[in-house]
Chain A
Amino acid sequence: MAAKPGFPEILAFGPTGYGDELLWGAAMSISIALLAYGLGLIIGIVGALCKLDGSPLTRGILEGYTTLVRAVPELILILILYYAGTATLNQLLESAGYETVAINGFAAAVLVLGFVQGAYSTEVLRAAIQAIPVGQIEAAKAYGMSPWLIFHRITLPSMLPYAIPGLANLWLIVTKDTALIAVVGYTELALATRQAAGNTKMYFTFFMVAGLIYLIITLFSQKGFAILEKRVRRGQRKLA
């Protein structure tokens, strides 16, 4: 019997080890997380502004969106949106006379996670905007600033200190939520790990290595957000 590769060798790159598979999975996870987080932020900014300033109809719709998404488990949402989204798209294509397409798993993952993140971002940003003293915005209006000017000169810089801790939390959540995409069968870090572990039966080794990768991502992100928070808080009075 040929000697099976042991612990360090099994993580080698190339056909003998699983190092490249894991690294590719990690790259996929990070890209999905980044894009989904960005999409969530865009939804969040628009959602928060509309929730604060919109008509009763828009506010009602957004309230429904954030409540619904936050009350249902992410895994169930991902399953519903993943299958429903792809099926609806194909049905639309078919009825319009086009060929059905195989949906790109990566794009679907980003859209689904972004949609979920958007609900949480909306709430974080809404709370942050509400924490700004009304007088600041009223003063800006009194100066005759346009809404856009008010947003990027007053609202954005003064809400960031309130928003950064919540947004940092959301980033940490989305990096870990990418693992859920494994359940719908797209090969990111978690699924790559499970496949490698299943092939070699070295479950502890692979799951711990993957855990370490996630942990490194988390720790570096925390460091980054700490620096960012310090920066947006410059010029703010120190608390006690």
Chain B
Amino acid sequence: MNTSYIKFIIKSLVVGVLLLVAGGLLYWLFAASRWDWIAKYLPLLVKGLWLTLLLWVLSCILGMILAIPIGLVQVTGPRWLAGIARGFCTVIRGTPLLLQLWLIYYGLGSLFPQIGMIYPEFKNDFTWLIRLDAFWYALLAFTLSFAGYEGEIMRGAFLGVPRGELEAARAFGMSPWKVLTRVWFPRAVRLVLPTLAGEVVLQLKATPLAMTVTVMDLAGVVRNRITQDTYIVYEPLVLLAVIYMSLTFLTVWIFSFIEKKVPQKR
């Protein structure tokens, strides 16, 4: 049998299977799926979306603020500080975020009430700490995680700024602080912009993990409320996927817009 004949058979088989799958999906989407729950749960979903966005944006901003010193001390800091920063990045990047989240939520979350049991004064003064909402634990975990990944990237960015520019800034008599804020940091940020876009998207895709510690973000609303109330499994998940996808594309688009706004001379 000649090869083109076999190729044709394989091709038609593949196309046939794909058409079947696509047909099945379309049939399910338009004829068999249920969307009547949306109206009832819309307010909850909006609230969940708000929490997701808050968790995402806040953890990115706070993580970035932490990442700048973490990156900087690895480049210029004293050796012990650089060692700590490097160790922090290695541990964060080497362990699953889910585990970090659980360590912080279950570990810290059980530590405060225990302290409260031993020291009654603590219980009275720090009731808010003992009753802290899961959201804040998740925010802490996501912030530390973003700082770990971003600190490594900022280290590379600070190293990537040409030495001559820093020397020129110093030759102008700028103080170290001025060199950092006027030359070193702005140049480093421009260098990481393309990487940053990817990291911010990764952070967005990490936020649904918060649902495992009872945060009622978008994924939490879908899994822990809608699916548990109505036993509808797939439709809410498809909605989730579509929302996250739109947010991803929106982020990529915004970052490419910023990148074009800040031109870079090579």
**Residues of A with Cβ closer than 8 Å to B?**
57, 61, 68, 71-77, 79-80, 83-84, 87, 172, 176-180, 182-183, 190, 193-194, 197-198, 201, 203-204, 207-208, 210-211, 214-215, 218-219
Contacts and interface: CB of A to CB of B under 8 A. Distances in A.
A73 B244 contact: yes
Nearest to A74: B205
A150 to B, nearest CB: 16
B205 A73 contact: yes
Contact of A79 (B15, B90, B102, B223): B223
12 contacts: A72-B244, A73-B207, A73-B208, A80-B238, A172-B93, A172-B94, A190-B96, A193-B102, A201-B110, A203-B103, A207-B106, A215-B95
A187 to B, nearest CB: 14
Contacts of B219: 73, 75-76
Contacts of B94: 172, 214-215, 218-219
A203 B208 contact: no
Interface in B217-235: 219, 223, 233-234
Nearest to A57: B15
Nearest to A221: B94
Interface of B: 15, 18, 90-91, 93-100, 102-103, 106-107, 110-111, 204-209, 212, 219, 223, 233-234, 237-238, 240-241, 244-245, 248-249
A127 to B, nearest CB: 14
Contacts of B240: 76
Contacts of B99: 179, 190, 193, 207, 210-211, 214
A219 B99 CA distance: 17
Chain A interface, DSSP helix/strand/loop, else mixed: helix
B205 A203 contact: no
A215 B96 contact: no
A237 to B, nearest CB: 22
Most buried by A among B97, B103, B212, B240: B103
B198 to A, nearest CB: 10
Given A73-B205, A194-B102, A207-B102, A215 B91 contact: yes
A211 B223 contact: no
A33 B206 CA distance: 19
Interface on chain B toward A: helix, strand, loop, or mixed SS?
A: helix
Given A74-B205, A201-B110, A207-B107, A176 B96 contact: yes
A211 B95 contact: yes
Contacts of B100: 211
A126 B130 CA distance: 51
A71 B96 contact: no
Contacts of A208: 103
A76 B208 contact: yes
A204 B212 contact: no
A79 B209 CA distance: 12
Given A71-B244, A203-B107, A79 B237 contact: yes
A208 B102 CA distance: 10
Nearest to B242: A72
A197 B245 contact: no
Nearest to A88: B24
Nearest to A61: B18
Contacts of B96: 176-180, 190, 214
Q: Report which residue of B90, B98, B106 has the largest number of chain A beta carbons within 10 angstroms of its beta carbon.
A: B98
A193 B98 CA distance: 12
A219 B94 CA distance: 8
Nearest to B104: A207
Nearest to A208: B103
Nearest to B212: A183
B241 A76 contact: yes
